[in-house]
Structure 1
Amino acid sequence: MHRRDWTDVIGGCVLLLFGLWVFWHAQTHYDFGQMRRMGPGAFPGALGLLVTVFGLLILVPAWFRPGEMPRPAVRPLLAIIAGGLSFAFLIEPAGLVPATVALVVIVSLAEQELRWLRTTVLAIALSAMAVLVFTKGLGIPVPAFRWWSH
């Protein structure tokens, strides 16, 4: 047992640093404007401060709470990165449905035991939702299947 809850200390620090970076970036690259007429930097700046506060709310109690040192799991990390890359590389040549199916199948390899029925249902449901929301609902010109389009 360690003296600090290192999982939340690390997570709080990441949120704290990210929030401060977002606030700094918004402040240096965009005009904040006035309270009556806010500029394009006001909203991201406020969100950066909010994320910073949440980071502190996680970090401070964790500093005084006992916990374990986290052990990074390599398999889930690699599976999630590979799934995102597969989606990025497949969406243009193959279409939205094959890219989404590949994403779900590859990311499901992050678990120790692969459950084919759950993975299949999830891949079908997410593919259908992606086509309905992005192609039909938002009108984004991404074909469901590339080999069916002209």
Structure 2
Amino acid sequence: MKGTRDYNDIIGGALMMAGGAWFSLYAMNYNLGTLRRMGPAYFPLCIGLLVMLFGLLLLLPALRRPGSMPLPEWRPFLAICTAVLAFALTVERFGLVPATFVLTALAALAELRPNLRLTAVLAVALSAIAVAMFTQGLGIPIPAFRWNH
């Protein structure tokens, strides 16, 4: 059903603006600092404001562009939410690599017919990247594997 507005971009722009506003407001819990001596809130505040600006730039033209009302697809939504929750519940107990495998496998269920070979390759690659980035690069003490609890 065609409408007088592009609701996909209106909803997307509004969500971007809300997310940017939340990020910016949360950043204000920290010291902003100055331009010469930036505090911990400076960069997150700037990113939040930029996301809000991009959301506004997405939303405004959509108010005058025809479009249709989007229909929600529940399977991908539930698969992604379940994958993120499962990662959060397994990373501390089993380690970063098993949690990343669980995350990738459950997120693949967002597709109608997930490709098992591609999902396995993606899980291996994401696990390697996560270990390299978080434990080696950033020095975050998340064990790659945790067998004894």
Instruction: Report the TM-score when normalising by structure 2.
Output: 0.84
Q: How many residues align?
A: 148
Give the distance between the partners of 1:41 and 1:138, measured in 2 at CA.
19
Which residue does 1:99 correspond to in 2?
A: 99
Aligned pairs for 1:1-150 within 5 A = 1-26=2-27, 29-30=29-30, 32-33=32-33, 39-147=39-147
Spell out, residue by residue over 1:82-125, the C-alpha distance to the aligned partner (whole angstroms, 9 max, x if none).
Answer: 11111111111211111110100000001001211100111111
Greater alpha carbon shift after TM alignment, 134-143 vs 79-88: 134-143
3-state SS of 2:144 partner = coil
In structure 2, the gaps of 5 or more residues are none
Query: Percent identity at matched positions?
Result: 52
Spell out, residue by residue over 1:32-65, the C-alpha distance to the aligned partner (whole angstroms, 9 max, x if none).
Answer: 5555555554433333332222111101111111
3-state SS of 2:66 partner = coil
Rate the CA distance shift 1:133–1:42 in 2: closer, same or farther, 3 A: closer
Instruction: Report the TM-score when normalising by structure 1.
Output: 0.83
Give the distance between the partners of 1:137 and 1:31, measured in 2 at CA.
26
Give the distance between the partners of 1:90 and 1:116, measured in 2 at CA.
21
Give the distance between the partners of 1:101 and 1:35, measured in 2 at CA.
42
